[in-house]
Structure 1
Amino acid sequence: MTDKPFSPACERNREPILPVLLQQFAECRRVLEIGSGTGQHAVWFAAAMPWLTWQCSDRAEHLPGIQAWLDEAALANTPAPVELDVAVTPWLLPALKPAQPSGGTAGEASPTFDAVFSANTLHIMGWPEVEAFFAGVDTVLGESATLVVYGPFNYGGAYSSPSNREFDDWLQARDPASGIRDFEAVDRLAQGIGLRLVEDAEMPANNRCLVWRR
């Protein structure tokens, strides 16, 4: 059996994030989590929102750990995680496509999710991957769909706190392509796929929970 990975950050931020999701996902039925990491967020949020299906995704090396968390929780609304690398475009993943309705045409292109959630991912990616993230989200979100992104952001090109500056230095020392993203640049990408910002919620530890909707 695969040992369950553990992220202290997930334990800390899951409770502040949950009220935002409860409000924003109240009418949602299928949510795609991009970059599910350990799987801790998935079991916490899916248990709190049993009316929706929470689809985990991540790079292949993270899937066994995610599955370990899902297996232990044994929730009815968490299908097996699927492999997704945002940089590999287009996102041609049959596992993300629902079965065609009776009378449907095979291969019909149809958005499959009414919400996407991603936490602590954009600052880990290089900027081309961030662009690929939004391009891919565009292909899986339907009309009136919602995107929620959690993490640290700069505003007006400035750090929101000394700790975020230190964190950004650490990120770039580890990988020069990574780093805390400017909110304005990310919002332009969201607007480019027809999303409008509906909430910018302050979170603990100088993080934000950004919500866009079509």
Structure 2
Amino acid sequence: MSADARLFAPATARNREFILAVLRRHLPAAGTVLEIGSGSGEHAVFFAAELPGLRWQPSETEAGALASIRGWIAHAGVANVADPLLFDATAAQWPLAAADAVVAINVIHYSPWATTPALLDGVARLLPPGGVLYFYGPYRRNGAHTAPSNEAFDGWLKERDPRFGVRDLEAVVAEAAARGLTLAEVAEMPANNLSVVFRRA
């Protein structure tokens, strides 16, 4: 695959080091990480290079995104990134039988709310006891936006699709808990985002 297929997401370079610091605290030294909504593929190759003991499995719902992910894999020359999967996290069956961790960066606010419980259902089926789920993105806390910029972003998302939007952290935590996923850490990140980490009971 030619590297010409690569897409560039400028936010990736701004947030990847901060995300990596949280991932280092929680991911196992070895195993398989399923990344849901890998986008351009830039995060996948960066984290795989920095965490060489892990096998990184990128995925996307859009076939067009797979070319960019493959382009980044070829460009980076990292051996521990698998060929990207085309799949929808709301599907009843996932293409992996097991993974040690699941990472979803900037996913749940770009999808209908119904996607979140369905995604959590899949994560609960996939992860072993002690397995890690990592979410990154903006959240409302205690029913309110944490910054005016997040409120404006929420409005922009809803203009794009009324089903999209910044989610209530407490609602996500409750849905996760109902599926045996226990909150392990909430870390404040740049640009009013949060890292939210769960562990499978």
What's the CA shift string for 1:82-123, capped at 9, x where partnerless? 111123x21242xx24xxxxxxxxxxxxxx111100100000
> What's the offset of the Cα at 1:47?
0.3
Q: How many residues align?
A: 197
What is aligned with 2:39?
37
How far did 1:28 drift?
4.2
Is the aligned partner of 1:179 residue 2:165? yes
TM-score (normalised: structure 2) = 0.94
Kindly provide the amino acid, as one letter, of the partner of residue 43 in structure 1. Answer: V
Q: Deviations over 1:30-78 (max 9, x none)?
A: 1100000000000110000000100001112211111110111121110
Report whether the alignment pairs 1:58 with 2:44. Answer: no
What is the RMSD computed on CA atoms of the aligned residues? 1.1
Letter of the 1:69 counterpart = W
SS at match of 2:107: coil
SS of residue matched to 2:78: coil
Structure 1 residues without counterparts, runs of 5 or longer: 98-111
Separation in structure 2 between the aligned mates of residue 212 and residue 47 of structure 1, nearest angstrom: 24
Say which SS state the counterpart of residue 20 (structure 1) adopts.
helix
Alignment-mate amino acid for residue 181 of structure 2: L
- Candidates 73, 76, 82, aligned match of 1:73: 76
Deviations 1:115-161 (A, max 9, x none): 10010000001011112111111121111101010000001110000
1:132 lines up with 2:118 in the alignment: yes
Which whole-Å CA distance do the structure 1 matches of 2:153 and 2:73 have between them? 30
Whether contact under 8 Å (1:200, 1:209) holds in the other structure is yes
Q: For 2:117, what is the secondary structure of its paired residue?
A: helix
Alignment of 1:99-110 (within 5 A): none
Identity of aligned residues (%): 44
> Considering only CA atoms, is the larger Rg found in Structure 1 or Structure 2?
1
Task: Detail structure 1 runs of 4+ shifted over 6 Å in the superposition.
Answer: none
Q: How does 1:1-214 map to 2 (within 5 A)?
A: 1=2, 2-59=4-61, 60-87=63-90, 89-93=91-95, 96-97=96-97, 112-214=98-200
Partners of 2:101 and 2:131 within 8 A in 1? yes
Give the letter for the 2:84 counterpart: P
Letter in 1 for 2:167: R
- What letter is aligned with 1:162? P
SS where residue 16 of structure 1 aligns? helix
